[in-house]
């Protein structure tokens, strides 16, 4: 079970303004390869822009505090953003989370066609 960083998701109330900042100020490029097909009718219908530094994607998503509620999921990945990893064995990773007592939300492909996604929150530091 190998994890690799896939993207960082940042949320905003103004996707176009944030995209201009990341392109014009930081010099990132508009991502054109490996883009997800968004499922706009399954809980999240917000706008998303995709930029890259050439290695890692940054997804700039319209903030939606109700996306988790609308999709029946505990964790809402577009309320505060998220860091996304890919794995070569999702079932093994889920079993690992369960063995560690980490609750997760299984979004399946509700947000993105063909991408089985799970989301979880990092335990608070004590």
d(CA 66, CA 61): 14
Domains identified in the chain, total number? 1
Domain that holds residue 105: 3-119
Task: Check residue 41 and give its pLDDT.
Answer: 67
**Comparison of pLDDT for 81 and 40, the residue scoring more:** 81
pLDDT category of residue 91 using cuts at 50, 70 and 90: very high
Q: Bridge partners of 118? A: 106
Residue 126, domain member (yes or no):
no
Task: Check residue 66 and give its pLDDT.
Answer: 81
pLDDT in tens, 61-77: 999 888 888 888 788 78
For the chain, helix (H) and strand (E) counts, in that order, are: 3, 9
Residue 83, domain member (yes or no):
yes
CATH of the domain at 115: 3.10.180.10
Residue 124, domain member (yes or no):
no
Burial of 78 (C-beta count, 10 Å sphere; 0-12/13-18/19+): buried
d(CA 78, CA 71): 12
pLDDT in tens, 16-33: 999 999 999 999 999 888
Residue 125, domain member (yes or no):
no
Q: What is the mean pLDDT of residues 38-53?
A: 80
Among 41-45, 59-63, 86-90, 114-118, the range scoring the smallest mean pLDDT is 41-45
Residue 63, domain member (yes or no):
yes
Q: Bridge partners of 30? A: 51
Q: pTM here? A: 0.82
**Residue closest to 44 by CA, chosen among 18, 66, 59, 14:** 66
């Amino acid at each position: 079970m190998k994890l690799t960083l896939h993207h960082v998701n940042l949320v905003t109330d103004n996707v176009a303004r944030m995209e201009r900042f990341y392109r014009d100020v930081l010099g990132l490029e508009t991502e054109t390869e490996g883009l997800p097909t968004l499922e706009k009718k399954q809980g999240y219908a917000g706008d998303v822009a995709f930029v890259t530094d050439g290695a890692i994607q940054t997804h700039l998503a319209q903030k939606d505090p109700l996306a988790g509620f609308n999709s029946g999921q505990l964790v809402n990945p577009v309320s505060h953003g998220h860091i996304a990893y890919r794995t070569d064995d999702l079932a093994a990773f889920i079993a690992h989370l369960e063995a560690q007592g980490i609750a997760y939300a299984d979004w399946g492909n509700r947000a993105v066609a063909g991408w089985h996604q799970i989301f979880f929150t990092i335990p608070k530091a004590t």
